[in-house]
Amino acid sequence: MLPHHVTVGPPDAPALVLIHGFPFSLEQWRPQLDGLEDAWRVVAYDLRGHGRSATGPGPLFIEDLVDDLVELLDHLGLESACLGGLSMGGYIALRAVDREPSRIHGLVLADTKAGADDNAGRVKRAQAAKTVRAKGMSAFADGLLPALFPKERLDPPTSAVREVRAMIEATSPEGAALALGAMASRLDLRERLADIRVPTLVVVGEDDTLTPPAEAEALVAGIPDATLVRLDGAGHVSNLEAPDAFTAALRAFLERMHPRT
């Protein structure tokens, strides 16, 4: 399914395609779309059942989401792109570079990890899917926000907290439930990291407790050409909590990959 997407920047500039986390939308990438559009072609899109993309039939697998990404690259005429993903977006990006290496020439992995859910994690996903279908997104946001942000940023809510809540509440409950199933059945890609052949930037918020800095360090240790950027004052949604530092890290990485003469 072709996802809803936005594109900014010069059409002939090297492309960066950004995949949002769960259960957000492409709006998550607004600071990076605004901050990079002077020099880079930046594409952000809504995953199935999120933002303005249709939900589609279930069950949903990460493979379907990689299919959607490939369809988007084809639609945009991009033989290859630099691909970035945060959290669930990173799970998709990691599988995409594993399955479709010719379509990706650079990778950004933010607040994510290569391992799969353990049994307890899968049970939690199934329970969360039931809750989201029964109670809706607002109640789901109440439960999720404390895992995404340190306590002191929730009350009063920072602008990042408010933006994340708005994105969660705009997601369809069925879209979120299907995405939970896709995450629960994702592959363990830790053994595949050594085969990633593209320059990779790993970014993590210092205060991320869902995918903590140790997970980012494991990615950097496993991927042959990877560099780590740790962001102070940011939790799991690091691109919104430290938007300028996140964008600067992306810009430096893109400039390294595509040096201007």
Residues that bind ligand MLT (CB under 6 A): 21-22, 87-88, 183, 210, 236
CB of 9 to ligand MLT, least distance (A): 25
Q: Which is nearer to ligand MLT, 37 or 206 (CB)?
A: 206
Strand partners, 15: 41
3-class secondary-structure state, position 153: helix
Residue 18 tokens read as 């950004």
Chain length of the chain: 261
Q: Phi, psi at residue 144, to the nearest 5°?
A: -85, -35
For residue 218, the minimal CB distance to ligand MLT (Å) is 15
Identity of the residue, 88 or 96, whose beta carbon is nearer to ligand MLT in the bound complex: 88
**Closest distance to ligand MLT from the beta carbon of 88 (Å):** 3
Longest CA pairwise span in the chain (Å): 56
Choose between 149 and 253: whose C-beta lies nearer to ligand MLT.
149
Give 148's contacts (C-beta < 8 A, 6+ positions apart): 164, 210, 235, 236, 237
- Minimum CB separation of residue 257 from ligand MLT in Å reads 25
Shortest Å, Cβ 60 to ligand MLT: 14
Least distance (Å) between residue 13 CB and ligand MLT: 28
Quote the tokens at residue 131: 């809750």
Cβ closest to ligand MLT, residue 200 vs residue 211: 211
- CA-closest candidate to residue 42, choices 15, 19, 22: 15
Nearest to 116 by CA among 194, 62, 40: 62
Q: Which is nearer to ligand MLT, 87 or 200 (CB)?
A: 87
Give backbone dihedrals phi and psi of 160, rounded to 5 degrees, phi first.
Answer: -65, -40
With contact defined as beta carbons under 8 Å apart, do 138 and 169 qualify?
yes
State the sign of the Cα–Cα–Cα–Cα dihedral 248, 250, 253, 254: negative
Residue 41 or 107 having the CB closest to ligand MLT: 107
